[in-house]
Amino acid sequence: MKHPEHSSFLKDSFKLKVLGLDDLDQVFPAVEHFFGETQDWDYLTFDPEKAKRRLLDSVEYGYARVVAGFDQEDTLSGFAIVTYDDNFTVEKIGLVYAIYVLPEYRRTALPRQLIDGAETVAKFDGAVNLHAHALNHLPRGGKSFLNLLSKRGFVPYAGGACKRL
């Protein structure tokens, strides 16, 4: 199997790509939009430079992967950040740390494809479970996101959902 970081594919008009260090600049404006929409952050100050440095370091050292979706014009349409944890377990656990679809691409196949891409990457990287926060910090996003996860085979738990890979 080819490593997901070196492949992309076009499906339902969206191309998914696992971004490397050289590609991450494409996602930073969308990360700012994500934090701008989150309901948990209106009492915190978002630091774009700190977020950029943290994401770059996490990808560089293998603690995170960024799965990005692009439309037919190669415009970034959304992203999912997958992080890993094995602090208390022998097995590696994946976590969909953030998923964000730009407003004009919502209610398309892209959210499903990003979850599928996150699952593929996590499995390739050796994770045995993939967890996702149902609310993902977005207003009104929790119920529809939990429904999406359920359709993808995730089992709900308090605050999120999990899937054995």
pLDDT digits (tens, 9 = 90+) for 56-90: 999 999 999 999 999 989 999 999 999 998 888 88
Strand spans (E) along the chain? 8-11, 14-19, 64-70, 76-85, 92-101, 127-133, 155-157, 160-164
Task: Give the mean pLDDT of the chain.
Answer: 85
pLDDT at 35: 81
pLDDT at 68: 97
Nearest to 80 by CA among 100, 54, 106: 100
Q: Give the residue carrying structure tokens 């929790």.
A: 142
The string of pLDDT tens digits covering residues 94-116 is 999 989 999 999 889 999 999 99
pLDDT at 160: 82
Higher-confidence position of 53 and 1: 53
Cα–Cα separations (whole angstroms), residue 49 to 19, 46, 109: 19, 9, 31
pLDDT at 144: 78
The string of pLDDT tens digits covering residues 131-145 is 987 655 555 556 778
pLDDT at 10: 46
If DSSP codes are grouped into helix, strand and coil, which group holds residue 99? strand
Segment 22-45 shows an average pLDDT of 82
Burial 11-37 (b: 16+ CB within 10 A, else e): eeebbbbbbeeeebebbbebbeebbee
